[in-house]
Amino acid sequence: MASFRLSIEDGQFRDAHGRQVVLRGINVAGDAKLPSEPDQPSHIATDFFDGDNVTFHERPFGKGEAATHFARIKRYGFNTIRYLFTWEAIEAAGPGIYDEQFIQHTIEVLRIAKSYGFYVFMDPHQDVWSRFTGGSGAPMWTLYACGLNPQSFAATEAAIVQNTYPDPDNFPKMIWSTNYHRLAAGTMFTLFFAGKDFAPNCIINGVNIQEYLQDHFVNACAHLAKRIHEAGDLENDAVIGWESMNEPNRGMTGYVDLTVIPKDNPLKKGTCPTMWQTLLTGMGRACEIDTWDMGGLGPYKTGTTLVDPHGEVAWLPEGYDDSKYGWKRHPGWKLGECLWAQHGVWDIATDTMLKKDYFAKNPRTGKTIDYPEFTNTYFMDFWRKYSKACRARHKDCIMLMQYPTLELPPQIKGTEDDDPLMAFTPHFYDGITLMTKHWNSTWNVDVVGVLRGKYLHPAFAIKIGETAIRNCLRDQLATLRQEGLERTGNHPCLLTEFGIPYDMDDKKAYKTGDYSSQSAALDANYFGVEGSQIEGHCLWVYTATNDHERGDQWNGEDLSIHSVDDKVPLLSPLPKSAVANQSTTSLFKPPTTKNRDVGNDESITPENLQRTLTTPSISSSRSAKDPELTNAPGYRAAEAFIRPTPTVVAGNVLATGFDLRKCAFNLKVSAPKPASDEAPTVVFLPEYHFPRDQSQITVSAGKWELSSDDSEGPVLQRLKWWHPEGEQTLGIQGLMLCQVWHHPSFLCRSKIRWRPRPAVVVPRWCNAEYGRESASEKSRTGHSNSAAARPSMQERTGTKRHSQSSHELAMSMCQTRSSLAAGVTQVPQPPFARITACEQPVKPP
């Protein structure tokens, strides 16, 4: 029987020892949405409609680059990969024609991911159906199968696509998401999930279009699963499970009135047609359509505009040759005219709406189709088919159920669908920040609360102040988790997407190097994730080709934590850490410090400080699986996403959190039995925040040890904790900080300007309890912390009180992290507590 690295027990992810596994992941990679040959980012129109002749052979990145990317991701502390692939990548050339070269490339990249110890979930990714409807996912031939002509989408506004936009360089931010409510994507999702009920005349090759589309999607994913199974070394050891279609949408199914915009549609940007207007423009009719924009207080109407296709229609011409793809349509399905008119929704001859509530009720049951009804019927029919196909190839894999975004999960608790090896995977974004590309720490909105009818008026959902905003993000995520438990059963919640835009405020950070807004926004999101008790999460996104000009190369999005243009992280550098000591018994060895660029007598200037801050990696230690990253592209706002994490817990996590401002980590666990020698609780403890000799660790009971190893590639610092049964607590205080008045020869970047600061450096010991110690502390460490035993200021710093050599200041500044308070730069003070192996209970003072 296969040895499973991960299973599900009692609603938690568990390892072979029964420990809870906390999945801290990231989506890899944004590049997977786009072809590699030709390289076709969303702003390029050349050969765009040659959709049958594209390949994804180098996606998400080339095999030769994979080790560098995975080493970097591992070094950041992630243990899970949500691996993106698209239906188009597998089956672009035509129905049933699979790209075996892409599949083989995927297998080889997954093997490299395995060597770094990642848990991998496969994600069949899509956004608004397809690249040709403004997103990503499905092959172009699926549109032809449904009678649509993507080359006419621009004129009819059946879809807003950057590749065909008149001015792709000024493509409106986030407008791509409005395509869910336009003709092309609305039609495709309706046919995919509910074609049998609402388009019974759409028969192709003897089956309804719903069955045709679903079968091809499911079979393509199942073929990839089959090939991964045949590889023989990936199932369960690397590939743990399969997620269902990313962000499924109901299309028009459930629309009560096609002549109005649904009240639950928050996506208002640019032209905002009713679905009735999209049907008209799709047949070449001119319509006066409302225009909207997103402001600081949400969407607002800006006026109207005339959309005139000048007779061009969004449907295939009557003489289109179906034989290219081996299709034979039912005689009742006419090409050249709207298929919804053919089903009696409206009259083409008079442009009259006949059945504005055509999609409101299930024709088989008569039930009104609200979103819960859609999810419980149409989505679940698809889920059962997909899950069965995946399990037929990958037996006992974990299935990840992704239902429509921000909607209620299906009501399956206690039914046959209540699968013990299942997790539910909501998505959540701070919509205000995402749509405006600005971090507003003054106010935000409880969107989930509004959607659930929690407030008598939306005004009551407004949260004022950063603390309230952070708590609101946490509470919304906790609500999504609780809804999943109540409706699907006792399953883990894996948040598979959340993130923030890095190109905030018209890319201001790219000019100034100040990522404090991005750091604050991302930290607020992580605060919500950690406080909600969600069992796992995957940040969106890692994009290998991200740059400052085009972001993630897709629709103007720029959410990647990595960018090829962030080689010199001016205000958010990771510190140059010491070579990790492999021995857990030699923890008093002073850290090695080497100045790579600044000599002892060299004055500190912006230029040489910048060189010093250009660190090749988080840890200077390397191994065979830790490729050299000197001068490699880097990270941004790293202080917010490089966080301590309880990776495995001997028991259950009751609470955990990281306070970035205080650099303090806390963990509370419940252990049914003492942690065994071979299976302790393990915490990833990044040296970025917790340098070896500058951290204080306190536990309620048990013993702990701090060590570093490169068993999974990069050298990672981990704390192992052998605690007794019952409720136990762990607290870690990281790099202690002090305020600095800079050396006169140093110009610090403050409030986006270079300016001199006063000339005195005042280090201080921040621990008020420094002079107090117990006999056990002295005997345990072999060192005294009494005032008499403390080194003098000169001994501690190697300087007199009011002077500091340029070399020492440079080394301190190597560990500088951007302050969230404007104009304040912080550097580490000397250590006040040494880290050691601890075998006695140590309680906080």
Q: Looking at residue 829, what DSSP letter applies?
A: P
CA distance 198 to 253: 8
Catalytic residue among 58, 88, 497, 705: 497
Q: Cα torsion for 225, 231, 233, 239, to the nearest 10°? A: -20
Q: Specify whether the CB–CB gap between 291 and 276 falls below 8 A.
A: no
CA distance 425 to 537: 9
Per DSSP, the three-state class of 531 is helix
Of the CA atoms within 13 Å of residue 29, those in its CB half-sphere come to 30
Give residues with Cβ within 8 angstroms of 176, minimum separation 6.
Answer: 127, 128, 134, 135, 160, 162, 555, 556
Q: Residues 374-410, buried b or exposed e (16+ Cβ, 10 A)?
A: bbbbbbbebbeebbebbbebbeebbbbbbbbebbbbb
Q: Based on the number of CB atoms within 10 Å of its own CB, is 699 exposed (0-12), middle (13-18) or buried (19 or more)?
A: buried
Identify the H or E element spanning 518: helix 516-531
497 catalytic residue (yes or no)? yes
What is the distance, to the nearest Å, from the Cα of residue 425 to the centroid of all Cα atoms in its chain? Answer: 12
Q: Specify whether the CB–CB gap between 557 and 564 falls below 8 A.
A: no
Q: Do strands 634-635 and 562-563 pair parallel, antiparallel, or not at all (unpaired)?
A: antiparallel
Closest CA to 80 of 246, 244, 243, 239: 239
The amino acid that residue 140 corresponds to is M
CA distance 798 to 357: 80
Of the CA atoms within 13 Å of residue 693, those in its CB half-sphere come to 17
How big is the chain, counted in residues? 845
Closest CA to 497 of 408, 434, 548, 444: 434
CA distance 753 to 751: 6
Residue 433 CB neighbours (<10 A) = 23
37 catalytic residue (yes or no)? no
Catalytic residue among 91, 235, 247, 639: 247
* Bond from prior residue into 664 cis (ω within 30 degrees of 0): no
CA distance 637 to 562: 10
Q: Based on the number of CB atoms within 10 Å of its own CB, is 733 exposed (0-12), middle (13-18) or buried (19 or more)?
A: buried
CA distance 801 to 822: 27
Per DSSP, the three-state class of 748 is strand
Q: Helices 209-231 and 183-198 sit at what angle, rounded to 10 degrees? A: 100
What is the distance, to the nearest Å, from the Cα of residue 522 to the centroid of all Cα atoms in its chain? Answer: 11
The amino acid that residue 211 corresponds to is E
* Residues catalogued as catalytic: 247, 497
